């Protein structure tokens, strides 16, 4: 796959409680030239990472439902830090908290091209 150069080095945090989907995301991101800043299956672990490593993250992919809990606390931290993120969900936008309904979402099951489009938009927004 020929990927736009601007995705090379994009550092992505993954919040996903399904191990197979997390591994798939890691593989697809690697194909795009991105690096995985961290993969987490719990909100608390992702928040702890962001507390000390936010400078090492450019983008987040956040599953809406993490082990029966909403990922809203992590989304709020991304928002506070001014970092772009996308929700990953098998539900429609009605499953999102009202605050996040305007945010982009990656619908499960997703195609790599869908993720590429979202990442390319985020990379373009951050500039060269």
Question: Could you report the per-residue pLDDT of 57-114, keeping only the tens digit for each?
Answer: 999 999 999 999 999 999 999 999 999 999 998 776 666 778 877 777 888 888 999 9
pLDDT band at residue 3 using 50, 70 and 90 as cut-offs: very low
Domains identified in the chain, total number: 1
Ordered alpha helix ranges (H), 32-87: 43-53, 72-81
Q: Which residue has the tokens 């608390």?
A: 44
CATH code, domain with 72:
3.40.50.2300
Range of the domain at 96: 5-126
pTM for this predicted structure: 0.91
Mention every residue, 6+ apart, whose C-beta is less than 8 A from residue 32.
1, 3, 7, 10, 115, 116, 119
Which conformational region is residue 68 in: left (phi greater than 0), alpha (psi within -120 to 50 degrees), or beta?
left
Counting every residue written for the chain, the total comes to 128
């Amino acid at each position: 796959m020929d990927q736009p150069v601007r995705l090379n080095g994009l550092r992505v945090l993954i919040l996903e409680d399904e191990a197979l989907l997390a591994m798939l995301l890691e593989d697809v991101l690697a194909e795009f030239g991105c690096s995985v800043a961290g993969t987490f299956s719990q909100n608390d672990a992702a928040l702890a990472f962001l507390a000390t490593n936010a400078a090492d993250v450019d983008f987040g992919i956040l599953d809406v439902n993490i082990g029966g809990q909403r990922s809203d606390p992590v989304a709020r931290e991304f928002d506070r830090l001014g970092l772009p993120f996308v929700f990953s969900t098998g539900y429609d936008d009605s499953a999102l908290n009202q605050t996040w309904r305007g945010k982009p979402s990656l619908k499960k099951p997703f195609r790599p091209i869908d993720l590429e489009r979202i990442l390319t938009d985020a990379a373009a927004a951050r500039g060269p």
